[in-house]
Structure 1
Amino acid sequence: MNQKQLRWQNIAMMAFVTVWGLGNVVNNFAQQGLTVVVSWILIMALYFVPYALSVGQLGSTFKESAGGVSSWIKETSTTKLAYYAAWTYWVVHIPYLAQKPQGILLALSWLFKGNGNFVNTVDAKVVSLICLAIFLVFLWVASKGLTTLKMIGNMAGTAMFVMSLLFILLAVSAPALRGTEVATANMTSLSTYMPKFDFAYLTTVSMLVFAVGGCEKISPYVNNTKNPAKEFPKGMLVLAGMVAVCALLGSIAMGMLFDANNIPADFMANGAYSAFERLGVHYNVGNLFVILYAIANAMAQISALAFSIDAPLKILLSDADPDYIPEKLSRLNKKGTPVNGYIFTGILVTILIVVPSLGIGNMNELFKWLTNLNSVVMPMRYLWVFLAFMWINKQHQKFSSEYKFVKNPKIGYLIGLWCFAFTAFACLLGMVPKVEYASAPKEYIFQLIMNILTPIVLIALGAIMPAIARRGKNKA
């Protein structure tokens, strides 16, 4: 798009499809029950709105930058920190890639068997080997080109978006239209929604941060917006409103279908499918909703797996500085594929698929652990967004933009600092395992070690790369 033809409603919709999904409702309801309703209100007001509007100002300031967050860091700081930003953006996808085969297995199980019982019955080691085989197949597929998968992904993404909205509509209206009983008692009482702000609660905040992150992907479109100073922030505010409405109504809908005081242990893995199964019963359509959701989810997971192998790696290597990225890693074959980069990705993901199964007993616990690990690791890339926002406010005389979130650079700097500190705080506390120490001490310790070591090792690898690159250059 060369013309400034996007309006605020286009920006809001594009960002909404990028940020939101039914999984965000399921994962947070699984951890907090109906108290998540108040948590959503707080996270939207205190974190997501300033986050989205900060992205608006960064996108407006660096309109011509194609590299996203790493370009923002390069402009406001040094090439070395820009490399670390690019590295972080890529490496946080490793746990994400390790979980995608599990999502594909689950979708296929619900599609062909009509249930997800295997998460509680099959040994984690067996599941890990199947997941590894699925991952290696798609690693090979991704190396051959992604055109068809991207098209499938776009269709599946739209279908998943429609299914998320359909779920809210059907679940909220079921008591009125079908006379169904509400599963959770006292849903009209305010106390049902009030969280206890204790340590256990704070360890679940990373999942909320994980749910609302990612709107920086929309920043390149600031340039294509009609009157960016007014319409882009308006689109971001509308996005925040849409996410808030879907989060609140989705959580209330879950409370209507499931007893929030007695959430099934496998809810993170099977919650969305079980919800559509119950809606099918309420509306007398059998397994229709489950089948539709399983097909859409399988296609979305397959596309996301192949696309997330390829895209983040190409972002890291496309503008690779030979001082930081080893030449061997960024070397392309005749088809333009970074083969060594794919092999390196394969090694890291294989380790993260296989090793956890040695200390985690069943598929359900493995699924929950990987979901929580993603909520710790993925938000690490948002830290660079807030650093860039702090730095453009610190160097406000050097940068100008059509849109400014706040005109006072000192207040802007403090907002960036708050979002940075809150994200770091959520990531650190998110490392605390969600299994009880008393009931499973060995698994608790194993998960805690893995939660601490995984982000440290992934970032440490980024610190080693420049040394390998220098050694390679000296040899050459």
Structure 2
Amino acid sequence: MKKKQLFWYNIAFIAFASVWGLGNVVNNFTLEGMSVVTSWLLIAILYFIPYTLIVGQLGATFKNDESGVAAWIRELTTPKIAYLAAWTFWVVNITYLAQKPQTILIAFSWLLRGNGDFVNQVASIWVQLICLGIFLFFLWLASRGIVTLKRIGSIAGIGLIIMSLLFIILAFAAFKFSHVTVATQHMAAIKTYLPKWDLNYLTTISMLVFAVGGAEKIAPYVNKTQNAGREFPLGMIALAVLVIFSALSGSIAMGLLFNAKHIPKDLLANGAYYAFAKLDNYYHVGHLFQILYAIANALEQIAALLFSIDAPLKMLLGDHADFHYIPRKLVKRNKHDALINGYLLTGVLVSILIILPALYIGNMNELFDWLLNLNSVVLPMRFLWVFAAFILLNRQFKHYQSDFYFIKRPLLGKLIGGWCFLFTAFACLLGMIPKTSGATWWTQLELNIATPIIFVLLGVILPVIARWQNRQRVMTK
């Protein structure tokens, strides 16, 4: 792609495709029911809109950096903190990679069997062993330099966006022009949309943050944008409008299709497929919509798995790797130019996270829900660096010029950045509390607490190993 070729609407679409999906609607509807409509409005005003504008200002300030957040932190702080940021962006993907095989398996179950019952009919340990096999196969493919399936992934991603928007249109049309009964009662009553302000509700905030996060991934496109100071922030604003519209209308559409007071137990895993299956029945088209969604989702998940194995590793172990903090052996490359020892480390950690919980959580549906919830706890940890970068930028406000300013007053900028930072941390901490009350509640809580702690400890251990290896190199010279 040539430089200076993108406009605000290109940025908005690319960002929307990478940030949003029907799964975000299904997940949060499952946890909150119709009260999620109010939650979407609150999260948009208090968090998502400031978040996108913060990314807009950071992207416009560092418009010549293609590494995104890693470059921002490296520019604004010390090499040690830059390493910690790069480590965070890599390590949080471990939980993401551990769940991708589950979503791929469920997609193929719906595609080949017409339902998602397979994962619930087989013991979780056997399902997870299959998932491990899927992951190791794609890890092997990635190690041979086959990392993106870029064209297929892009087509599937566009297909998913179309299917997500089509779902909203078809759902509203079905109830507007046919005699289909609305599943959720009292849809016109305001009280239907009011949350119950208790601990259970607060624990769902992490899933909302998880859903709207990720706008910083679009930052590398800043220097490919026409008039970056204007077009890029405008694209971020358009992204916010698209996400808010999709979240609100999608949630109401879910309420039309499913009774918000009696939500199926496996809706987190199979909700999107159930939704399209219902639409297939309403429009008498066989299994058309459900099959199209399963194909697009399977292809997109495969492409995302390959990309997520490789791209975060390059951020940590690529050309900017600092050997004061990273052991040299980790940057070893094979003949396909893949960071082979980094792949091995990824494989070990993901394999543990796939198999170990299955020994304690025997119900596959519970295991899927737990791993999804763990993602909502761990992945937003990387967003903390976006807000940290914004706070640091405002501390050094006079040293950096930007074509776009979300906030021109450094004190106010630090306060807004601090609010978003604390809100994210608050959501992650409360998200550790399991959403279910089953026999494995304590096991899930222990795993939710232990996983981030282990990730942090690993990040501390690597510099110790690097220093020891550096001393050994000096002594042998």
State the secondary structure of the residue aligned to 2:399: coil
**Per-residue displacement from partner, 1:347-382 (whole Å, max 9, x unpaired)?**
000000011001112111110000000000000000
Alignment correspondent of 2:336: 335
Name which of structure 1's ranges 8-17 and 133-142 shifts more when overlaid on structure 2.
Answer: 8-17
Q: Does 1:23 align with 2:23?
A: yes
Name which of structure 1's ranges 387-396 and 172-181 shifts more when overlaid on structure 2.
Answer: 172-181
Alignment of 1:30-179 (within 5 A): 30-146=30-146, 149-179=149-179
Name which of structure 1's ranges 220-229 and 464-473 shifts more when overlaid on structure 2.
Answer: 220-229
Structure 1 residue 148: deviation in Å? 6.6
How much identity, in percent, do the aligned residues show? 60
Alignment of 1:397-436 (within 5 A): 397-436=398-437
**Per-residue displacement from partner, 1:125-167 (whole Å, max 9, x unpaired)?**
1111111111111110111122672221111111111111111
Alignment correspondent of 1:389: 390
State the secondary structure of the residue aligned to 1:237: helix
Does the 8 Å contact 1:23/1:272 carry over to 2? Answer: yes
Structure 1 residue 278: deviation in Å? 0.3
Q: Pick from 456, 460, 469 the counterpart of residue 457 of structure 2.
A: 460
Does the 8 Å contact 2:148/2:304 carry over to 1? Answer: no
Q: Pick from 460, 468, 471 the counterpart of residue 474 of structure 1.
A: 471
Structure 1 residue 3: deviation in Å? 4.4
**Per-residue displacement from partner, 1:250-307 (whole Å, max 9, x unpaired)?**
0000000000000000000010000000000000001111111111111111111111
Does the 8 Å contact 2:394/2:413 carry over to 1? Answer: yes
**Counterparts of 1:230 and 1:309, CA distance in 2:** 33
**Counterparts of 1:226 and 1:409, CA distance in 2:** 27
- With over 3 angstroms needed to count, the CA separation of the structure-2 counterparts of 1:445 and 1:147, relative to structure 1, is closer
Does the 8 Å contact 2:147/2:307 carry over to 1? Answer: no
Structure 1 residue 237: deviation in Å? 1.3
Does the 8 Å contact 1:60/1:401 carry over to 2? Answer: yes
Letter in 1 for 2:212: V
Alignment correspondent of 1:205: 205
- Given the two structures, how large is their TM-score scaled by the length of structure 1? 0.97
**Counterparts of 2:140 and 2:227, CA distance in 1:** 44
Does the 8 Å contact 1:54/1:405 carry over to 2? Answer: yes
Does the 8 Å contact 1:122/1:362 carry over to 2? Answer: no
Letter in 2 for 1:421: L
- Given the two structures, how large is their TM-score scaled by the length of structure 2? 0.97
**Per-residue displacement from partner, 1:211-266 (whole Å, max 9, x unpaired)?**
00000111122233333333322221111111000000000000000000000000
**Per-residue displacement from partner, 1:73-129 (whole Å, max 9, x unpaired)?**
111111100000000000000010000110111011111111111233221111111
Does the 8 Å contact 1:40/1:247 carry over to 2? Answer: yes
Q: Does 1:284 align with 2:281?
A: no
State the secondary structure of the residue aligned to 1:4: coil
Structure 1 residue 402: deviation in Å? 1.0
**Counterparts of 2:371 and 2:224, CA distance in 1:** 37
Does the 8 Å contact 1:373/1:431 carry over to 2? Answer: yes
Name which of structure 1's ranges 298-307 and 204-213 shifts more when overlaid on structure 2.
Answer: 298-307
Name which of structure 1's ranges 329-338 and 27-36 shifts more when overlaid on structure 2.
Answer: 329-338
Alignment correspondent of 1:377: 378
Does the 8 Å contact 1:387/1:416 carry over to 2? Answer: yes
Alignment of 1:249-264 (within 5 A): 249-264=249-264
**Per-residue displacement from partner, 1:382-428 (whole Å, max 9, x unpaired)?**
00000000011011011111111011111011010000000000000
**Counterparts of 2:90 and 2:3, CA distance in 1:** 31
Does the 8 Å contact 1:119/1:362 carry over to 2? Answer: no
List gaps (5 residues or longer) in structure 2.
none
List gaps (5 residues or longer) in structure 1.
none
**Counterparts of 1:154 and 1:283, CA distance in 2:** 28
Does the 8 Å contact 2:153/2:299 carry over to 1? Answer: yes
Name which of structure 1's ranges 300-309 and 198-207 shifts more when overlaid on structure 2.
Answer: 300-309
**Counterparts of 1:140 and 1:285, CA distance in 2:** 39
Structure 1 residue 460: deviation in Å? 1.2
Letter in 2 for 1:30: T
Does the 8 Å contact 1:178/1:283 carry over to 2? Answer: no
Does the 8 Å contact 2:66/2:221 carry over to 1? Answer: no
Structure 1 residue 2: deviation in Å? 5.1
**Per-residue displacement from partner, 1:171-206 (whole Å, max 9, x unpaired)?**
111112232111000000010001012111000000
State the secondary structure of the residue aligned to 1:337: coil
State the secondary structure of the residue aligned to 2:392: helix
Alignment correspondent of 1:237: 237
**Counterparts of 2:309 and 2:445, CA distance in 1:** 27
Across the two proteins, how many residue pairs are aligned to each other? 472
State the secondary structure of the residue aligned to 1:397: helix
Does the 8 Å contact 1:57/1:401 carry over to 2? Answer: yes
Does the 8 Å contact 1:121/1:362 carry over to 2? Answer: no
